[in-house]
């Protein structure tokens, strides 16, 4: 019998550990960017797919390039109108590039701008996927503290001044200003204007990620940084993953043509999936405006179920806010709780969670924090999952104790 070929010596440096085999979702799933299954507009998507395939199916023979390499033009036309009304962005369809999810947008912008040893500024608590990608580039990541209104401008200003004194100009400031991940904060308009002024003073770009901005309970949000800056010095990325369905994998970059032309030279993937773009354009033109408020109503209710369950099970041992939108809750547990260790123990009990250190530039600060995604489980599962998580915390770390008179925060 031939021995298995040992390919381990051939692996490139820095190759991540092998993935575990898929065994299905955990019983209590609070991880990832999943959304509410009952609010996936299945019938409307079926109708849109049937309509668009009958009308434009033959164009799939050419990688969907009939609209050019920027992506399916009707989808870019929808986005141009939607972004103007939603975020105040004045852009033409030719200033929008469709990508395979916003993650590809992050990868393309990083590939365009970053080299080993470069410096970037980022919110101290931020999207874990952005952190892992930046680490691969070997860049110097500087975390800027947040408060309830997002990135603190006093901290940003002092950091920029300190870097300038050392002769360092950051390549960009990465921010999630509208429904920040993981904290859920929304940056006020005056702070956005201050960021633009600082970026211009210190001659750096702003990389604005608005992946979650459709999920604002009130439907009201400040103008985007891109719009306030007139699109100058700002690259904007967005996604349909949170507003329609994560599995569709359709995102977009908004930037001036000079930047998009450079990015197109890097996007050598024969084009993002054309069928998804066509279906989304057909669906969104007819249904987007009515769909999102219904989804937000469901998500808002689930958030309150999660908050009440945490208050009931953890008492004052768990600290958390009341985000105005999104699909995540950022939770602080007692200092003796190591959420990386909690992750393992909770997983064995059927609870999946995101440990805080994976979502922060300051691992020690985030050691006792965790991110819970409340969008996918139904309310009963949320309640039971939090109960199981609390039991694990009591067993493994000696906390928390229930308090019958805990105020529902």
Convert the pLDDT of each residue in 236-246 to its tens digit: 999 999 999 99
Q: Give the Cα separation of 299 and 174 in Å (integer).
A: 26
Radius of gyration of the chain (CA): 22
Confidence of residue 401 (pLDDT cuts 50, 70, 90): low
Average confidence (pLDDT) over 213-238: 96
Q: Give the Cα separation of 99 and 107 in Å (integer).
A: 10
Residue 302 has pLDDT above 70, yes or no: yes
Residue 405 has pLDDT above 80, yes or no: no
- Closest by CA to 235, choosing from 225, 222, 243, is 225
Is the bond leading into 65 cis (omega within 30 degrees of zero)?
no
Domain extent listing, the chain: 25-40+290-397, 42-287
Q: Give the Cα separation of 15 and 321 in Å (integer).
A: 37
pLDDT at 269: 84
DSSP structural state of residue 250: -
Q: Give the tens place of pLDDT for each residue, 103-129.
A: 999 999 999 999 999 999 999 999 999
Q: Give the tens place of pLDDT for each residue, 336-361.
A: 999 999 999 999 999 999 999 999 99
pLDDT at 232: 96
Average confidence (pLDDT) over 180-206: 98
**Residue 145 Cα distances to 57, 124, 365, 366, angstroms:** 49, 5, 11, 12
Where do we find the tokens 């956005």? 192
**Residue 33 Cα distances to 28, 60, 176, angstroms:** 14, 29, 15
pLDDT at 264: 93
- Closest by CA to 358, choosing from 101, 107, 129, is 129
Residue 403 has pLDDT above 60, yes or no: no
pLDDT at 409: 33
**What mean pLDDT, rounded, does the chain reach?**
93
The packing angle between helices 101-113 and 128-137, to 10°, is 30
Instruction: State the pairing for strand pair 328-332/369-373.
Output: antiparallel
Class of domain 25-40+290-397 as given by CATH: alpha beta
Where does 42-287 sit in CATH, by number? 3.40.640.10
Q: Are the beta carbons of 399 and 337 closer than 8 angstroms?
A: yes
pLDDT at 402: 62
- Closest by CA to 232, choosing from 206, 213, 270, is 206
| Structure tokens that stand for 37 in this block | 């299954």
pLDDT at 271: 82
pLDDT at 337: 96
């Amino acid at each position: 019998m031939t021995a298995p070929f040992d390919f381990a010596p051939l692996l490139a440096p820095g190759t991540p550990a092998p993935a575990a085999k898929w065994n299905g979702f955990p019983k209590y799933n609070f991880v990832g960017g999943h959304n509410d299954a009952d609010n996936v507009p299945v019938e409307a998507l079926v109708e849109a797919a049937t309509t668009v395939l009958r009308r434009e199916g033959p164009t799939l023979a050419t990688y969907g390039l009939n609209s050019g390499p920027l992506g399916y033009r009707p989808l870019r036309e929808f986005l141009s109108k939607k972004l103007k009304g939603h975020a105040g962005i004045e852009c033409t369809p030719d200033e929008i590039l469709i990508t395979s999810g916003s993650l590809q947008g992050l990868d393309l912008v990083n590939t365009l701008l970053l080299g080993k040893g470069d410096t970037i500024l980022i919110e101290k608590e931020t999207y874990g996927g952005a952190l892992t990608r930046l680490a691969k580039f070997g860049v110097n990541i500087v975390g800027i503290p947040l408060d309830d209104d997002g990135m603190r401008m006093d901290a940003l200003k002092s950091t920029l001044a300190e870097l300038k004194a050392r002769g360092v100009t950051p390549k960009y400031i990465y921010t999630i200003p509208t429904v920040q991940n993981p904290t859920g904060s929304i940056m006020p308009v005056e702070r956005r204007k201050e960021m633009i002024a600082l970026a211009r003073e210190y001659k750096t770009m702003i990389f604005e990620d608005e992946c979650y901005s459709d999920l604002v309970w009130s439907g009201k949000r400040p103008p985007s940084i891109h719009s306030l800056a007139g699109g100058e010095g700002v690259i904007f990325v967005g996604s349909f993953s949170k507003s329609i369905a994560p599995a569709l994998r359709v995102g977009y970059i908004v930037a001036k043509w000079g930047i998009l032309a450079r990015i197109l030279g890097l996007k050598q993937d024969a084009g993002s999936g054309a069928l998804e773009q066509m279906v989304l354009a057909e669906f969104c033109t007819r249904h987007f405006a009515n769909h999102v408020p219904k989804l937000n109503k469901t998500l808002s209710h689930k958030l309150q179920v999660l908050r009440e369950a945490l208050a009931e099970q953890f008492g004052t041992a768990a600290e958390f806010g009341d985000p105005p939108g999104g699909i995540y809750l950022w939770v602080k547990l007692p200092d003796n709780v190591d959420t990386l260790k909690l992750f393992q123990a909770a997983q064995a009990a059927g609870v999946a969670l995101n440990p805080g250190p994976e979502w922060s530039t300051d691992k020690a600060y985030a050691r006792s924090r965790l991110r819970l995604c409340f969008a996918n489980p139904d309310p009963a599962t949320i309640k039971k999952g939090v109960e199981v998580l609390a039991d694990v915390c009591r067993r493994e770390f000696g906390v928390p104790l229930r308090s019958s008179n805990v105020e529902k925060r």
